[in-house]
Amino acid sequence: MYWDQLTSGQLAELDKQTPVLLNIAAIEQHGAHLPVATDRMIGEYFSSLLNEEIGDKVLILPIAAVGCSDHHMGFCGTLTLSHATFSTVVKEIIQSVLNHGFYNIILLNSHGGNQGIMQVIIEQLGYANPSAHILGASWWNVAKEELLKITETGPGGTGHACEFETSLMKAIAPHLVHESLIKQGSNVWAFPSVDGDLLTGPRISFYRTMKELTPNGVYGNPTKASAEKGIRIGQCVTAALKQLVMNVYQIKVRKYIES
Protein backbone atom coordinates (compact mmCIF):
# COMPACT_ATOMS: atom_id res chain seq x y z
CA MET A 1 0.00 0.00 0.00
CA TYR A 2 1.17 3.49 -0.79
CA TRP A 3 0.58 6.04 1.97
CA ASP A 4 -0.18 8.91 -0.40
CA GLN A 5 -2.63 6.90 -2.49
CA LEU A 6 -4.94 6.25 0.47
CA THR A 7 -7.50 8.62 1.92
CA SER A 8 -7.27 9.98 5.44
CA GLY A 9 -10.17 7.72 6.43
CA GLN A 10 -8.52 4.62 4.96
CA LEU A 11 -5.28 5.35 6.81
CA ALA A 12 -7.18 5.87 10.05
CA GLU A 13 -8.80 2.43 9.71
CA LEU A 14 -5.57 0.52 9.05
CA ASP A 15 -4.09 -1.80 11.66
CA LYS A 16 -1.46 0.36 13.38
CA GLN A 17 0.83 -2.67 13.61
CA THR A 18 1.35 -2.39 9.84
CA PRO A 19 5.04 -1.65 9.17
CA VAL A 20 5.60 1.74 7.52
CA LEU A 21 8.55 1.93 5.12
CA LEU A 22 10.42 5.10 4.17
CA ASN A 23 13.00 4.86 1.42
CA ILE A 24 15.88 7.33 1.86
CA ALA A 25 17.81 7.93 -1.34
CA ALA A 26 19.94 10.49 -3.19
CA ILE A 27 20.12 12.60 -6.34
CA GLU A 28 23.77 12.59 -7.38
CA GLN A 29 26.18 11.85 -10.19
CA HIS A 30 26.51 8.24 -11.29
CA GLY A 31 29.31 8.43 -13.81
CA ALA A 32 28.81 9.25 -17.48
CA HIS A 33 26.37 6.40 -18.16
CA LEU A 34 23.68 6.61 -15.44
CA PRO A 35 21.20 9.38 -14.48
CA VAL A 36 21.51 11.36 -11.26
CA ALA A 37 18.18 9.78 -10.17
CA THR A 38 19.75 6.30 -10.00
CA ASP A 39 19.55 5.83 -6.20
CA ARG A 40 15.99 7.16 -6.10
CA MET A 41 14.87 4.91 -8.94
CA ILE A 42 16.50 1.86 -7.40
CA GLY A 43 14.79 2.54 -4.07
CA GLU A 44 11.43 2.99 -5.79
CA TYR A 45 12.00 -0.23 -7.74
CA PHE A 46 12.50 -2.27 -4.58
CA SER A 47 9.50 -0.59 -2.94
CA SER A 48 7.29 -1.35 -5.94
CA LEU A 49 8.38 -5.01 -6.02
CA LEU A 50 7.68 -5.28 -2.30
CA ASN A 51 4.26 -3.70 -2.82
CA GLU A 52 3.49 -6.26 -5.54
CA GLU A 53 4.50 -9.09 -3.19
CA ILE A 54 2.86 -8.03 0.09
CA GLY A 55 1.04 -4.77 -0.56
CA ASP A 56 -1.53 -5.51 2.13
CA LYS A 57 1.19 -6.02 4.75
CA VAL A 58 3.32 -2.90 4.35
CA LEU A 59 2.65 0.82 4.02
CA ILE A 60 5.10 2.71 1.79
CA LEU A 61 5.72 6.41 2.33
CA PRO A 62 6.70 8.92 -0.39
CA ILE A 63 10.43 8.63 -0.97
CA ALA A 64 12.93 11.01 0.65
CA ALA A 65 14.72 11.56 -2.65
CA VAL A 66 17.56 13.95 -1.76
CA GLY A 67 20.09 12.63 0.74
CA CYS A 68 23.55 13.39 2.07
CA SER A 69 25.86 13.70 -0.93
CA ASP A 70 28.46 16.31 0.00
CA HIS A 71 31.20 13.92 -1.13
CA HIS A 72 29.74 13.94 -4.68
CA MET A 73 29.54 17.72 -5.05
CA GLY A 74 32.68 17.76 -7.18
CA PHE A 75 30.51 16.37 -9.97
CA CYS A 76 27.81 18.44 -11.68
CA GLY A 77 24.17 17.56 -11.04
CA THR A 78 24.52 16.34 -7.48
CA LEU A 79 21.98 17.63 -4.95
CA THR A 80 22.64 17.37 -1.24
CA LEU A 81 21.27 18.10 2.20
CA SER A 82 23.38 18.63 5.29
CA HIS A 83 23.26 15.87 7.88
CA ALA A 84 21.29 18.17 10.17
CA THR A 85 18.68 19.05 7.54
CA PHE A 86 18.34 15.47 6.30
CA SER A 87 17.99 14.18 9.85
CA THR A 88 15.32 16.77 10.64
CA VAL A 89 13.33 15.97 7.49
CA VAL A 90 13.40 12.20 8.06
CA LYS A 91 12.67 12.40 11.77
CA GLU A 92 9.76 14.78 11.28
CA ILE A 93 8.23 12.55 8.59
CA ILE A 94 8.51 9.55 10.89
CA GLN A 95 7.25 11.51 13.89
CA SER A 96 4.16 12.37 11.85
CA VAL A 97 3.64 8.65 11.19
CA LEU A 98 4.11 7.84 14.89
CA ASN A 99 1.62 10.55 15.84
CA HIS A 100 -1.01 8.73 13.75
CA GLY A 101 -0.55 5.60 15.85
CA PHE A 102 1.73 3.47 13.66
CA TYR A 103 4.69 2.14 15.62
CA ASN A 104 6.65 -0.19 13.29
CA ILE A 105 9.02 1.86 11.12
CA ILE A 106 11.51 0.64 8.50
CA LEU A 107 14.05 2.94 6.84
CA LEU A 108 15.17 1.46 3.51
CA ASN A 109 18.39 3.11 2.38
CA SER A 110 19.58 3.19 -1.23
CA HIS A 111 22.58 5.53 -0.88
CA GLY A 112 25.90 4.84 0.84
CA GLY A 113 26.26 8.40 2.12
CA ASN A 114 23.09 8.06 4.19
CA GLN A 115 24.28 5.13 6.27
CA GLY A 116 25.94 7.00 9.13
CA ILE A 117 23.16 9.52 9.67
CA MET A 118 20.54 6.77 9.30
CA GLN A 119 21.99 5.04 12.35
CA VAL A 120 21.89 8.30 14.32
CA ILE A 121 18.26 8.85 13.27
CA ILE A 122 17.32 5.34 14.41
CA GLU A 123 18.94 5.86 17.80
CA GLN A 124 17.41 9.29 18.33
CA LEU A 125 13.91 8.25 17.25
CA GLY A 126 14.13 5.05 19.26
CA TYR A 127 15.12 6.91 22.41
CA ALA A 128 12.43 9.56 21.95
CA ASN A 129 9.73 6.96 21.16
CA PRO A 130 10.34 3.99 23.46
CA SER A 131 7.13 2.21 22.43
CA ALA A 132 8.04 2.28 18.74
CA HIS A 133 10.18 -0.16 16.75
CA ILE A 134 12.60 1.71 14.47
CA LEU A 135 14.65 -0.35 12.01
CA GLY A 136 16.96 0.56 9.15
CA ALA A 137 18.62 -1.36 6.33
CA SER A 138 20.64 -0.56 3.22
CA TRP A 139 19.49 -2.74 0.32
CA TRP A 140 22.94 -4.22 -0.36
CA ASN A 141 23.25 -5.36 3.26
CA VAL A 142 19.77 -6.81 3.72
CA ALA A 143 20.48 -9.55 1.13
CA LYS A 144 24.28 -9.62 1.19
CA GLU A 145 24.71 -13.42 1.21
CA GLU A 146 22.54 -13.87 -1.88
CA LEU A 147 24.06 -10.87 -3.66
CA LEU A 148 27.54 -12.30 -3.20
CA LYS A 149 26.39 -15.25 -5.33
CA ILE A 150 25.46 -12.87 -8.17
CA THR A 151 28.48 -10.56 -8.42
CA GLU A 152 31.17 -11.38 -10.97
CA THR A 153 33.50 -8.46 -10.34
CA GLY A 154 35.13 -9.30 -7.00
CA PRO A 155 36.26 -6.82 -4.32
CA GLY A 156 35.91 -3.24 -5.48
CA GLY A 157 33.45 -4.15 -8.23
CA THR A 158 30.19 -3.10 -6.58
CA GLY A 159 30.64 0.43 -5.34
CA HIS A 160 28.99 3.26 -7.28
CA ALA A 161 27.52 3.30 -10.81
CA CYS A 162 28.90 -0.21 -10.73
CA GLU A 163 28.05 -3.77 -11.75
CA PHE A 164 24.98 -3.81 -9.47
CA GLU A 165 23.61 -0.29 -9.88
CA THR A 166 24.06 -0.44 -13.65
CA SER A 167 22.39 -3.87 -13.80
CA LEU A 168 19.44 -2.54 -11.82
CA MET A 169 19.07 0.50 -14.06
CA LYS A 170 19.23 -1.74 -17.16
CA ALA A 171 16.26 -3.61 -15.70
CA ILE A 172 14.41 -0.52 -14.44
CA ALA A 173 14.96 2.08 -17.19
CA PRO A 174 17.25 0.83 -19.98
CA HIS A 175 16.52 3.97 -22.02
CA LEU A 176 18.38 6.02 -19.37
CA VAL A 177 21.54 3.89 -19.50
CA HIS A 178 24.09 5.31 -21.92
CA GLU A 179 25.66 2.04 -23.08
CA SER A 180 28.39 3.65 -25.18
CA LEU A 181 29.69 5.58 -22.15
CA ILE A 182 30.01 2.61 -19.78
CA LYS A 183 33.57 2.40 -18.49
CA GLN A 184 35.19 0.60 -15.60
CA GLY A 185 35.67 2.73 -12.50
CA SER A 186 39.02 4.39 -11.86
CA ASN A 187 39.16 3.11 -8.26
CA VAL A 188 41.92 4.74 -6.22
CA TRP A 189 43.13 2.39 -3.50
CA ALA A 190 44.46 3.61 -0.14
CA PHE A 191 45.23 0.53 1.97
CA PRO A 192 43.31 -2.71 2.66
CA SER A 193 41.59 -1.73 5.92
CA VAL A 194 39.83 1.27 4.33
CA ASP A 195 39.23 -0.14 0.84
CA GLY A 196 36.01 -1.96 0.03
CA ASP A 197 32.70 -1.79 -1.76
CA LEU A 198 28.98 -2.45 -1.16
CA LEU A 199 29.52 -6.15 -0.43
CA THR A 200 33.01 -6.09 1.05
CA GLY A 201 32.83 -2.99 3.20
CA PRO A 202 35.97 -1.50 4.75
CA ARG A 203 36.86 -2.38 8.32
CA ILE A 204 37.95 1.19 9.08
CA SER A 205 36.17 4.41 8.13
CA PHE A 206 38.18 6.94 6.14
CA TYR A 207 36.62 10.02 4.53
CA ARG A 208 37.45 10.71 0.93
CA THR A 209 35.45 12.63 -1.66
CA MET A 210 34.14 10.66 -4.61
CA LYS A 211 36.67 12.35 -6.90
CA GLU A 212 39.43 11.10 -4.60
CA LEU A 213 37.92 7.61 -4.67
CA THR A 214 37.42 7.58 -8.43
CA PRO A 215 38.11 10.53 -10.76
CA ASN A 216 35.58 9.34 -13.36
CA GLY A 217 32.76 9.00 -10.82
CA VAL A 218 32.44 5.23 -11.22
CA TYR A 219 33.60 2.94 -8.43
CA GLY A 220 33.53 -0.66 -9.59
CA ASN A 221 33.01 -2.45 -12.85
CA PRO A 222 29.77 -1.71 -14.74
CA THR A 223 31.04 -3.54 -17.85
CA LYS A 224 29.76 -6.75 -16.24
CA ALA A 225 26.24 -5.37 -15.80
CA SER A 226 23.14 -6.87 -17.39
CA ALA A 227 19.37 -6.47 -17.15
CA GLU A 228 19.06 -10.15 -16.22
CA LYS A 229 21.41 -9.57 -13.32
CA GLY A 230 19.37 -6.53 -12.30
CA ILE A 231 16.21 -8.65 -12.19
CA ARG A 232 17.98 -11.24 -10.01
CA ILE A 233 19.18 -8.51 -7.65
CA GLY A 234 15.63 -7.19 -7.41
CA GLN A 235 14.31 -10.64 -6.59
CA CYS A 236 16.92 -11.23 -3.87
CA VAL A 237 16.43 -7.85 -2.21
CA THR A 238 12.63 -8.09 -2.38
CA ALA A 239 12.67 -11.55 -0.77
CA ALA A 240 14.87 -10.22 2.04
CA LEU A 241 12.68 -7.15 2.55
CA LYS A 242 9.56 -9.33 2.59
CA GLN A 243 11.14 -11.44 5.33
CA LEU A 244 12.11 -8.29 7.24
CA VAL A 245 8.53 -6.99 7.13
CA MET A 246 7.15 -10.31 8.34
CA ASN A 247 9.75 -10.41 11.12
CA VAL A 248 8.62 -6.95 12.27
CA TYR A 249 5.13 -8.34 12.79
CA GLN A 250 6.62 -10.80 15.28
CA ILE A 251 8.19 -8.13 17.49
CA LYS A 252 6.36 -7.95 20.78
CA VAL A 253 4.82 -4.60 21.62
CA ARG A 254 7.11 -2.83 24.06
CA LYS A 255 5.74 -1.38 27.24
CA TYR A 256 7.96 1.45 28.40
CA ILE A 257 8.91 1.40 32.06
CA GLU A 258 10.68 4.49 33.44
CA SER A 259 13.96 3.45 35.02
Within a domain: residue 254?
no
Run of H or E including 167: helix 163-172
The predicted-structure confidence for 226-235, as pLDDT tens digits, reads as follows 999 999 999 9
Within a domain: residue 256?
no
User: Is there a contact between 36 and 30 (Cβ–Cβ < 8 Å)?
Assistant: yes
For residue 50, the Cα-to-chain-centroid distance in whole angstroms is 14
Q: How many domains does the chain have?
A: 1
The predicted-structure confidence for 54-72, as pLDDT tens digits, reads as follows 999 999 999 999 999 999 9
Say what the pTM is.
0.94
- Each residue's pLDDT tens digit in the chain (259 positions)? 999 999 999 999 999 999 999 999 999 999 999 999 999 999 999 999 999 999 999 999 999 999 999 999 999 999 999 999 999 999 999 999 999 999 999 999 999 999 999 999 999 999 999 999 999 999 999 999 999 999 999 989 999 999 999 999 999 999 999 999 999 999 998 888 888 899 988 889 989 999 999 999 999 999 999 999 999 999 999 999 999 999 999 998 765 544 4
Within a domain: residue 150?
yes
User: Is there a contact between 147 and 176 (Cβ–Cβ < 8 Å)?
Assistant: no
For residue 84, give its domain range. Answer: 3-249
Distances (CA, A) of 94 to 44, 89, 124, 138: 18, 9, 12, 18
Looking up residue 119, the CATH number of its domain turns out to be: 3.40.50.10310
